[in-house]
Amino acid sequence: METARAEVAPSAGMRDLSTLPGPRRLPLLGNLLEIRPSQFHLTLEGWNRKYGDLYTFWLGRTPVVVVGSAELVQRILRERPKEFRRWSPLQELIDEMGFGGVFSAEGDQWTRQRRLVMSAFTAGQLRESHGTLSTITRRLRERWRASAARGAPVDARRDLARYTVDVTTAVAFGLDMNLIERGTDPLSDQLETVFASLNRRVFAPFPYWRHVKLPADRALDQALSEVRTRMLDILRTTRAELDRDPARAAAPRSLLEALLVARDADDPKARLSEQEVLGNVLTLLLAGEDTTADTMAWMLHFMALRPDVQARMRAEVDAELGDADLPESPEHAQRLRYLGAVAQETLRLKSAAPILFMEACADTVVGSLRLAAGTRMILLTRQIALKEEHFHDAASFMPERWLTPRPAGAGKHDPRAALAFGSGPRVCPGRALSMVESAMVGAMVARDFDVSLVDPARPVKELLGFTMKPEGLFVRFPPRHR
């Protein structure tokens, strides 16, 4: 879709990129030597504290504007997709890898695909899928019980990645992959390879992999091939089921069936291409695996650090669940108010998406800064929520700040500055499912285990691999002392 070019009239006080502060750059390289992809968000947040809420750095010879103001970030997100879009080089990378679904689509393509994807995450669909979600959560509990019986430490993030893949494929595709019990399935490792490679290629000075393949690029090609083959097999099986029962086309039983029906739609405006179907399957698989797994892993980290939080979660779960072992519906899960506050505070401090890559569609103005069409920006969505102007004692883990009514003397609290799921028209479509998953796992852990770190003296580090995950999070799940 062609975007109309915005008219930006000259105005007193307007600035251009040359007036912005930022780190000194080298000829040709810019600031590339100062960037480690796995710590990129921390570098940007450090520069924000030094240079302010509007500064610039250089990727080679390309300037990038960094925005750390809540007001400006919210405005940019609100005015997608007309004035701002995702980085075009990032979209090219995603399309090149073959999972260019709703995540990377823009304009009319995004509108068409978004409507279908959202159908998998309605309140009714989540309610209908809750029994399956409970079954998968119980499998995770049994896995952790077995680890506790052996006295073995748990790589919590790895197990939670399997859990979220199982949930996503069950809810969106109607499939039971059961990675939790199978354990040795390579799918999670393949998805990790894809994400790490995408993050690395974003910062490459040029697309060298189109000319020469390094070992990491060959590993990516292998991972993409295996994931794509696996998903194509699933698509063929589902297509055959639809062919055997044509009446299901009028009432698809899963998002996967709806995508395949849309592929064959008579209306060209509703029809999806084969690549769009596969791209959305891969997108949901990738997004569902990483972001929610990261959030739940960080939540376990805070529970282990804060026995008082763990005790309060346990008291709430005991009181609310009664004889049930898990919340019996999404609405039941939402009644766990303190547990939900723990999840919200985890998202504020440890957002899986601490930065967003944006680009101006046309000449525009951000604050007092005049930007040309195509200017690249990075939004510091996590850093905003760490500022005292938005949250009292912002660096501290305080779930109570999210409770209603709020505690007396709780201080500044601006929920609009918590942007873990984004904002505006392209807010994360899976946010409701993510919160229910966090409630289910949090309730299960509080009900059945005591959480502790294997080595409390060893710091758990933030590692950016397209999403931000905990590195070195190993926990123990001894049975709860009653």
The answer to the question of residue 77 being in a domain is yes
Q: How many Å apart are CA 227 and CA 246, to the nearest integer?
A: 28
Residue labelled with tokens 């376990």: 300
Q: What is the C-alpha to C-alpha distance for residues 125 and 135, in angstroms, rounded to an integer? A: 16
Residues 6 or more apart whose CB falls under 8 angstroms from that of 468 comprise 41, 294, 350, 351, 352, 353, 354, 382, 462
Which backbone phi and psi does 24 adopt, to 5 degrees?
Answer: -65, 145
- CB count within 10 Å of CB 405 equals 6
**Which comes out higher in pLDDT, residue 482 or 154?**
154
> Does one domain contain both 144 and 266?
yes
CATH number for 273: 1.10.630.10
177, part of any domain: yes
Pairwise CA distance, residues 44 & 301, whole Å: 24
On whether both 36 and 46 belong to a single domain, the answer is yes
Under DSSP, the state recorded for 28 is T
Higher pLDDT, 279 or 480: 480
Q: For the chain, what is the domain count?
A: 2
Q: What are phi and psi of 398, to 5 degrees?
A: -135, 85
Is 361 annotated to bind a ligand? Reply is no
Which pLDDT belongs to residue 55?
Answer: 97
Same domain, 80 and 224: no
Closest CA to 66 of 387, 381, 394, 423: 381
Omega before residue 81 within 30° of 0, cis: yes
Question: Whose structure tokens read 């690029």?
Answer: 217
Give the model's pLDDT for residue 319. 96
Q: Which pair of tokens denotes residue 63?
A: 């300037």
Smallest Cα–Cα separation from 421: which of 467, 386, 388, 358? 467
Question: Which structural domain, as residue segments, surrounds residue 363?
Answer: 1-97+354-385
Residue 106 falls within a domain, yes or no? yes
pLDDT at residue 267 in the model: 62
**Is 378 in the same domain as 430?**
no
Residues in contact with 344: Cβ distance below 8 Å, sequence separation at least 6, in sequence order: 399, 402, 418
- The verdict on 187 and 85 lying in the same domain is no
pLDDT band at 268 (very low <50, low <70, confident <90, very high): low
Looking at per-residue pLDDT, the higher value among 470 and 115 belongs to: 470
- pLDDT category, 9, cuts 50, 70, 90? very low
What local confidence, expressed as pLDDT, does residue 19 receive? 93
477 φψ region: left (φ > 0), alpha (ψ -120 to 50), beta (else)? beta
pLDDT for residue 447: 95
Q: Are residues 87 and 105 in the same domain?
A: no
Residue 409 domain-assigned (yes or no): no
Provide the pLDDT for residue 1. 35
- What is the number of other CB atoms lying within 10 angstroms of the CB of residue 193? 21
Higher pLDDT, 129 or 301: 301
What letters, b where the CB count within 10 A reaches 16 and e where it falls short, cover 223-238? bbeebbebbeebbeeb
Residue 7 pLDDT class (50, 70, 90 cuts)? very low
In degrees and rounded to multiples of 5, residue 338 shows phi and psi of: -70, -40
Q: Are strands 376-379 and 452-453 parallel, antiparallel or unpaired?
A: unpaired
Nearest to 235 by CA among 272, 264, 277: 277
User: Tens digits of per-residue pLDDT, 190-212?
Assistant: 877 887 888 788 878 788 999 99
Please report whether residue 244 resides in a domain. yes
**369 CA to centre of own chain:** 29
Cα–Cα distance for residue pair 443/340, rounded to 1 Å:
10
Same-domain status, 205 and 240: yes
Supply the pLDDT for residue 351.
94
Tens of pLDDT, residue by residue over 410-436, are 789 999 999 988 888 777 777 888 899
pLDDT of residue 128: 86
Which is it for strands 62-67 and 376-379: parallel, antiparallel or unpaired? parallel
Shared domain check, 107 and 80:
no
Residues 336 and 359 in one domain: no
Does 457 have pLDDT greater than 80? yes
Residues 335 and 443 both lie in one domain? yes
- Predicted local distance difference test score (pLDDT) of residue 174: 83
Lowest-pLDDT range, 24-38, 83-97, 108-122, 446-460? 108-122
Within-domain flag for 163 = yes
397 part of a folded domain? no
39: which DSSP letter?
A: G
Task: State the pLDDT at residue 101.
Answer: 65
Q: In Å, what is the CA distance from 64 to each residue of 6, 20, 371?
A: 20, 11, 11
The residue count of the chain comes to: 482
Q: What is the pLDDT of residue 105?
A: 67
Phi, psi dihedral angles at 131 (to 5 degrees): -60, -40
Share of the chain above pLDDT 70, in %: 90
Q: What is the mean pLDDT of residues 346-360?
A: 94
Whether residue 102 has pLDDT greater than 60: yes
Q: Could you count the other beta carbons within 10 Å of the beta carbon of residue 249?
A: 15
Q: Does residue 208 belong to any structural domain of this protein?
A: yes
Tell me how far apart the 2 most distant CA atoms of the chain are, in Å: 70
Instruction: Output the average pLDDT for the chain.
Output: 87
Q: Which residues, other chains included, contact 431 with Cβ-Cβ below 8 Å and sequence gap of 6+?
A: 421
Instruction: Please check whether residues 29 and 104 belong to one and the same domain.
Output: no
pLDDT above 90 covers a percentage of the chain that reads 54
Q: How far apart are CA 457 and CA 453, in angstroms?
A: 9
Q: Which residue has the higher pLDDT, 106 or 88?
A: 88
SS3 468: strand
Among the residue ranges 6-10, 79-83, 114-118, the one predicted with the least confidence is: 6-10
CATH number of the domain bearing residue 2: 3.30.43.20
Does 160 have pLDDT greater than 60? yes
Q: How confident is the model at residue 2 (pLDDT cuts 50, 70, 90)?
A: very low
Q: For 386-390, 436-440, 478-482, which range has the lowest pLDDT when averaged over its residues?
A: 478-482
Q: Say yes or no: 73 and 108 in one domain.
A: no
Query: Cis peptide before 307, with omega less than 30 degrees from 0?
Result: no
